[in-house]
Amino acid sequence: MHALIVHCHPEPTAFNAALSDITHKTLRASGAQVTVSDLYAEHFDPVEGPHHYRQRADADVFAALTEQRYAGDHGTRAADVQREIDRLEAADLVVLQFPLWWHAQPAMLKGWFDRVFVYGGLYTGRRRYDAGHFRGKRALLSVTTGGPAHTFSPFGRGGPIERLLWPIHYSLHYMGFDVLAPFVAHGVQGGGIAYQDAAAFEDHLDQLKNRWAARLKRIDDSRAIPFTGWADWEDGVLACDHPQRWLG
């Protein structure tokens, strides 16, 4: 197996870095080849725009999808984007490691989605969802939150974690990945916020590390989140006789 870790955190000593290190060591110990995309350390530019395209399909009006396809067709993609695509193509498993910031992934990682999942090369109108380019490959989110777990429950003040992660999961499904259930490390507090004393907090972090390592050792037993696909829809809407319409 070849795994790709997409690591998105600006601080190399942060808990996210510790989790990425565990991912690397655990998967390597299982015999996997592991590549790391450290977006901050590698100075990935997350801002899509005309400055990334030295040759343009339209020099007057910038349309990202048009220019992405043109660059792919003419072999002029930006080097950092092509590097990330090559890493994705080589990977059987993609692990996205990031903190939850403002109820979503950091802007750096959102920009990675914007620039790397290129139109034409990696998806088209018909080459998406369960017919997506990356079908047969797996993707897994490893996420940290500041608040404790109960605050991200269905009625918690942080909002249900399933809803907060839904856009990222759905984007990965859109690209064809089998999306595994996420690992969420809750209560990784910072910025002067504390929910427990220092000793209890360190013990909590150690437990999270152990849980993550144990999850990775069972990665081959993980099941994908069920999503609907092309055969389930009629004109882009779930078919009227589809059983999911009647789940309540």
Which domains are seen in the chain, by residue range? 2-246 (3.40.50.360)
pTM score: 0.94
pLDDT tens digits for 25-50? Answer: 999 999 999 999 999 999 999 999 99
The distance of Cα 7 from the centroid of its chain, to the nearest Å, equals: 10
| 130 bridge partner residues | none
Distance CA 20, CA 138 (A): 17
**pLDDT > 90 in the chain, percent:** 84
pLDDT tens digits for 66-89? Answer: 999 999 999 999 999 999 999 999
